[in-house]
Amino acid sequence: MNCKLTRICLAVLGTILAPPIHAGDSSTGVPLPGLESDPADTVFPRACSVSMTDGKVTMALSVGTDAASPALLLNGPEFGWTGSSEPYPDRQFPELEIRLDDNPVIPDDGFEAFAGKTNITNFIKTAELDPWAITRTPPVTAAHPKYPQVLKGLKNLGAIENSGDDAYLAKWTARRLLRISLKAVPDQRISLNYAARPAYSTMKSDQVVTETRENLYCVSAKHLCAVLRSGSVPRPVTIIEYTIPTGIDGKPPATVTLTTSASDAGLPRAYLFACGPHGKSVAVSGNLTHQPVQVDSSALLHVLKVTDAAAKSP
């Protein structure tokens, strides 16, 4: 018989979720892309610590390399304007902060833009259009009128549409490209700090456990019954699912630990689930401190939070 979850309440660890959640809301989330070494296979992950608190994720990774000019790449997802109701419009992670051995780093920061399959990056730069106008509602940007032929070309490609004098609706897609130069030393530590953009949805409590979630979070219906003290009447709950990259080139580090905390003490409880070493379940209704956790074969850490959908968001 399926486990029917009942008293699941809001918010210890809960301000990690960026947007407010209302009944019926859902999002597939936007994970930060994983790091890639440049040149390929020249930087290796060793140990990783992940901290989640108050809407932020910090991933700190010790790395090794013997390359003469090592670097890491972070190639963002390609996206366009998706409407005013999109909870995560800024998928280029503009708030991302990077540190190397605790010192701030300014990476080489670029972008690629497309109209369909046509690369229009140079056109966007020449016309001095804001590539990230696609994150605003409406997605309007000014353009430099010096090169009317470029603007005409963009119109013909369907990349822009007139929206007043020297203003245009952005209809392209774009992605952010970062290159982070490392030191030519065998051991160093890089950290990424950014706002979480988790997947979330509202459902009945007896629908939480699926085969996919059992595999991702190492939790079974029987285990949930025991941890959450479920009853016989299903109720609406919100599930929040985090996907956090921890490695390089899809290769996991030797160890990963998870620390969670929140400044909303006194609010009703939430429940957090993740895989521990050897596939054992980690299940808490409070904070974690350097808890060893297990990532998947692509070096992704998966964390599940369950809260009462009827409770008010902080």
Q: What are 269-300's pLDDT values in tens digits? A: 688 999 999 999 999 887 899 999 999 999 99
Lowest mean pLDDT among 153-167, 210-224, 254-268: 254-268
The predicted structure's pLDDT at residue 286: 79
The predicted structure's pLDDT at residue 308: 75
The predicted structure's pLDDT at residue 225: 67
Lowest mean pLDDT among 15-29, 42-56, 113-127: 15-29
Q: Name the DSSP class of 313.
A: P
pLDDT at 268 over 60: no
Give the containing element (helix H, strand E) for 155: helix 148-156
The H helix count followed by the E strand count for the chain is 4, 21
Amino acid at 199: A
In whole angstroms, give the CA distance from residue 213 to residue 284: 16
The predicted structure's pLDDT at residue 218: 94
The predicted structure's pLDDT at residue 5: 32
291: nearest Cα among 227, 218, 221, 228: 218
For residue 66, give both structure tokens: 């013997």
In whole angstroms, give the CA distance from residue 170 to residue 153: 14
- Determine contact, residues 201/213, Cβ cutoff 8 Å: no
pLDDT at 43 over 60: yes
The predicted structure's pLDDT at residue 231: 61
pLDDT at 307 over 90: no
pLDDT in tens, 106-139: 999 999 999 999 999 999 999 999 999 999 999 9
CA distances in angstroms from 75 to 28, 59, 125, listed in the order given: 19, 17, 19
